Amino acid sequence: MRRAVAFLLVLMMAPVGASAQEDTAMQRFLTDWTNALYQVEDRYSQENHALDLIVRFSEEPTWENMVIAQTMTEFTLRLLEYYGNLALEITATSEDYAALIAQGMDIADVRNTLESYDTIGRDDIRQTELAVWNDFMAELMYYAFEAGELREMARAAQNQKRLNEMNLEEWCLITHYILLELPPDEAQQLADWANRYTPAVMSAYSQPLETTNDVLNQYDDLLARMEEFLSTDMTEALTVAQYRLDNLQQLEAQPIEGLPLLLPYPQAVTPEAAEYHHYWKNEAGEISTATRLMDIQELPNCFALDASSLALADYQAYVLLLADFGYQPDEMNDTAALYLLDGGGELLVFWDDGSQCLQIHASGAQVCFAPQWYLQATAS
């Protein structure tokens, strides 16, 4: 959690190329392109990893699958926030491009592609992609307890992955075009770097491309497929949205195998506006968080929910709500309530006057916060 735990995003992102080579126009060009590919690789590989986990949860609705999907979706959000604010370092100058073009290389559009990615691309992350992933996070934390919502989340995740794969294919095709324009030695160098650092990009298109015309034809086909896909996806989303509006009162509780202690989700907290954090704490009190493409074998033993712009009355209302469900605090003051859970776990609910933030921390035990209607529907 940002306010209570310092989360470290270990990027392992080192520019390649020019540091180990003579600093020439060609080396600067190759380095710039490879570093852009790395960002694309890192983003979409992590997104697709999380999307696969979301779909797995929808196909096998278990508590373990739910937490794993939540944890990796949260990491994906943090990664996208990072890239949305990370300027792409472009070292090759307009003079470098002029010199390379003068040697017969048709790469005039490459600099525009990089600059567009650095500006429009980052804007798209901040304005569109983060919204998409915030929706996935809210779905996983609150809405996926309803069977219809879970099915819609899976559809959206599958479509998002298809779109990501087409974006990877686009970068792969542009890279192939560049390879065909470069002299043989430099083309081999770029191919080596691209295959080493960006395997997801380079595996997006495996058919042989022998001429630039082949690449352009495939690019035209890709654009047509993207346009058709986006149109179909929008139609599907509108159809689903209308169905959900027409069936607002028909909630179907989704059975989730292996649910732990069920607690009510705080009524004052909007799922889309809250922040959620799963993490691990060992016996020495050391904290660790998820890493990219992580294969989670042991579920996080701590969870935090942070919600801003709330009043003291919202904290008090949640303590009273817990009392309605049979939970009384073992320790309490005006702004904090501590609950000792079975098995040695703890639940801490507190309100920060300075930040006007309601914070709920569960540690040492698995706890599931669910909508009240779900708790009532599944009560034995």
pLDDT for the residue 379 = 86
Handedness of CA 133, 137, 138, 143 (dihedral sign): positive
C-alpha 2, offset from chain centre: 17
Amino acid letter at 283?
A: E
Distance CA 175, CA 189 (A): 12
103, two tokens: 């040697």
122, two tokens: 């980052």
Q: What's 233-256 look like in SS3?
A: HHHHHHHHHHHHHHCCCCCCECCC
Distance CA 52, CA 42 (A): 16
Chain segment 334-373, per-residue pLDDT in tens: 999 999 998 789 999 999 999 999 999 999 999 999 999 9
pLDDT at 228 over 60: yes
pLDDT for the residue 4 = 36
Tokens 């989340």 belong to which residue? 153
Question: Comparing 304 with 210, which gets the higher pLDDT?
Answer: 304
Q: What global pTM score does this model have?
A: 0.92
Listed in sequence order, the residues at least 6 apart from 207 whose beta carbon sits closer than 8 Å to its beta carbon are: 218
pLDDT at 190 over 80: yes
Chain segment 49-95, per-residue pLDDT in tens: 999 999 999 999 999 999 999 999 999 999 999 999 999 999 999 99
Cα–Cα distances (Å) from 298 to 65, 242, 289, 301, in that order, read: 11, 39, 12, 9
| Residue pair 350/337 in contact by the 8 Å Cβ criterion | yes
